[in-house]
Structure 1
Amino acid sequence: MPKLTKMSTCSYYSSGDQAAECGRRSGDHRSQRIVGGERAVHGEWPWQVSLHQRNPHTGQLLSQHCGGTLIGPSWVLTAAHCIVDPLFGFTIPPVFWIVKMGHIELSDRQPPHLAGVSKIITHKYFDAKTWNHDIALVKLREPLALDQMTGVNTVCLPGASASFEGHLCHVTGWGKVTENGSDSELLQKIAVPVIPYNDCYKKYESINPITPGMVCAGGDQPNKGPCVGDSGGPLQCRREDGAWVQIGVTSWGVGCARQNYPSVYVKISDYVNWIYFHLAKDYLAGLRAARTPRAPHRTDGRTL
């Protein structure tokens, strides 16, 4: 049986508000590793982020663990298996995570943005054996300023009924450049076709079930697609109006970019309501906390 591979190493914004500004780049970036990919250039994918863990003993920032995308000034979308401990199954606490943004080189010690994490939300039905519901939200400690000067922007999210089957879309990440190789120091990109659900289902029927909450892309050519370390990053397509919309979260596959085995992504259109529900819930909780009067305190710090 082929070996399945996870693509990793171990405020509320309405869809209308987001669509007005999201998915725009600072210039017209044409194609200048993802396996078989090309190097990205600064500002080409301004919503791409890298997730890093801190050493719990020394506090040292470790190498890139997974990718992710900025979907709002305070929120990053990624894969649940990036966030959940693979051995014990618990969500790794926010204090152990750092998010880098606005960079294409992993070794950049002073990226434009370096943010701590205040909250993590993983899908409550995430299944680490089948990779079903492999989606998570990461909240930054402080919201970002989004404009061309910062070089950071959000990606658009699709509507619940959106379909990009047959489109040529792009995958980006810092994962391995060959199945048995090392991670890429520079952000990589590659164009892959989104394939019909039934075609993907048949290819994986005897290996691992493809559910309606998954979307597949690539597999038409050998050595062209995501690999270990690319998990959590985006499968993104360009709309007719020129804006980029993220249709998938890199999740799993057989090996790395093997021919006839498409890479499998979380189908965001099936989870967009889940995403907005949790963003709205957090926003409303923040409003309630801000409006709740604090109990009076005495000068010695005790509550009256």
Structure 2
Amino acid sequence: MRRPLRLLAVLAGVVLACALLPGPQTVVSPVTGERIIGGQQAAPGQFPFIADMNTCTGFAITQYVVVTVAACIPTSGPITGTIYIGGINKREGQAEPLVWSIANPEGIAQGNWTLVEVRDPILGTPVKIVDQGDTSMHSGTLTAAGFGTTPPLMYTGMPYVPAATCRTQIPDLNAVLEVCSGVATGTPGPCQGDPGGPLLAKSPAGTWVAIGVLSRNVGCRSYSASSDLSAMSTKIKSYLTADGRLRR
């Protein structure tokens, strides 16, 4: 998962191409690499909610809806293409045709996310997203997971980083809308291909909770900023129907 973070967005026909955003103001330098440094390969069934979206990552929050970054899918409306959910290698798992997307209408600066609806029910168990205003899991070691540009699904521990510390490397960090994690060297940490993957914490019951959407760092050599779902949970849920689809 260690690759250069570049602001990219390509959506053409049935092709989805995504890359990890550097953020609205941070200048990012290309850095080569292949996966999370110090990360581990996921075991079958460990993250059944994670989706391979070609060159970015996503995660299922209902039986029909996947969250990713807006760089991956920057538009709203009908959409074509296929993603793969629940596998541990690229193009593995449940193949799901896409039907609809909603990119954050307020723009990336107000939350780097897009919601995508798939045609058929997702077989794996979706991950719960943290409730609005619940920052109780902003501590300790979190978990980042994503596909990157190499086949295996990788994951790693990411220590929570207070905003003041994070701003030494990401000065434009929005402490209201972003949560920071990782280490100052970026090792281990997410990079190109990993955007849209979840930043996860364990609930008191021991289940995964998505507290962020992996979004940006500086050249894969810094702390990582994720869109903070505790600041966006209510808004995201407002786009979901009772049966877990997207509102048209």
TM-score, normalised to structure 1's length?
0.66
Residues 142/231 of structure 1: CA separation in 2 closer, same or farther (3 Å cut): same
Match of 1:272 among 216, 219, 233: 233
2:59, 2:246 → 1: CA distance? 24
1:4, 1:186 → 2: CA distance? 19
Residue deviations 1:172-191 (CA, integer Å, cap 9, x gap) = 1111xxxxxxx221111100
1:104, 1:139 → 2: CA distance? 21
Q: Which residue matches 2:181?
A: 217
Residues 173 and 225, structure 2, Cα contact 8 Å, conserved in 1 = no
Q: Which residue matches 1:171?
A: 144
Structure exhibiting the larger radius of gyration computed from Cα positions: 1
1:204 match: secondary structure: coil
Residues 162 and 269, structure 1, Cα contact 8 Å, conserved in 2 = yes
Residue deviations 1:243-284 (CA, integer Å, cap 9, x gap) = 11000101111011x2xx210100001110011100038979
Aligned residues: 221
Letter in 2 for 1:104: I
Structure 2: 5+ residue runs without aligned partners? 9-17, 21-34
Residues 219/140 of structure 1: CA separation in 2 closer, same or farther (3 Å cut): same
Q: Which residue matches 2:56?
A: 66
2:40, 2:246 → 1: CA distance? 43
Q: Which residue matches 1:94?
A: 79
2:82, 2:121 → 1: CA distance? 14
1:43, 1:73 → 2: CA distance? 16
Q: Which residue matches 1:297?
A: none
Residues 65/93 of structure 1: CA separation in 2 closer, same or farther (3 Å cut): farther
2:245, 2:55 → 1: CA distance? 31
Cα deviation for residue 211 of structure 1 reads 4.4
2:176, 2:188 → 1: CA distance? 24
Residues 284/217 of structure 1: CA separation in 2 closer, same or farther (3 Å cut): closer
2:237 is the alignment partner of 1:237: no
Residues 65 and 245, structure 2, Cα contact 8 Å, conserved in 1 = no
2:47 is the alignment partner of 1:45: yes
1:252, 1:35 → 2: CA distance? 16
Residues 52 and 91, structure 2, Cα contact 8 Å, conserved in 1 = no
Match of 2:37 among 28, 35, 38: 35
CA RMSD of aligned residues (A): 2.6
2:243, 2:42 → 1: CA distance? 34
Residues 146 and 155, structure 2, Cα contact 8 Å, conserved in 1 = yes
2:95 is the alignment partner of 1:123: no
Match of 1:251 among 215, 220, 224: 215
2:106 is the alignment partner of 1:136: no
Cα deviation for residue 204 of structure 1 reads 2.2
Cα deviation for residue 80 of structure 1 reads 1.0
Residues 83 and 92, structure 1, Cα contact 8 Å, conserved in 2 = no
Aligned-residue sequence identity (percent) comes to 27
Letter in 1 for 2:83: V
2:184, 2:176 → 1: CA distance? 21
Letter in 1 for 2:212: G
TM-score, normalised to structure 2's length?
0.80
1:279, 1:222 → 2: CA distance? 35
2:63, 2:139 → 1: CA distance? 31
Structure 1: 5+ residue runs without aligned partners? 11-32, 52-63, 85-89, 146-151, 176-182, 290-304
2:101 match: secondary structure: strand
Higher strand share: 2
Match of 1:190 among 138, 156, 160: 156
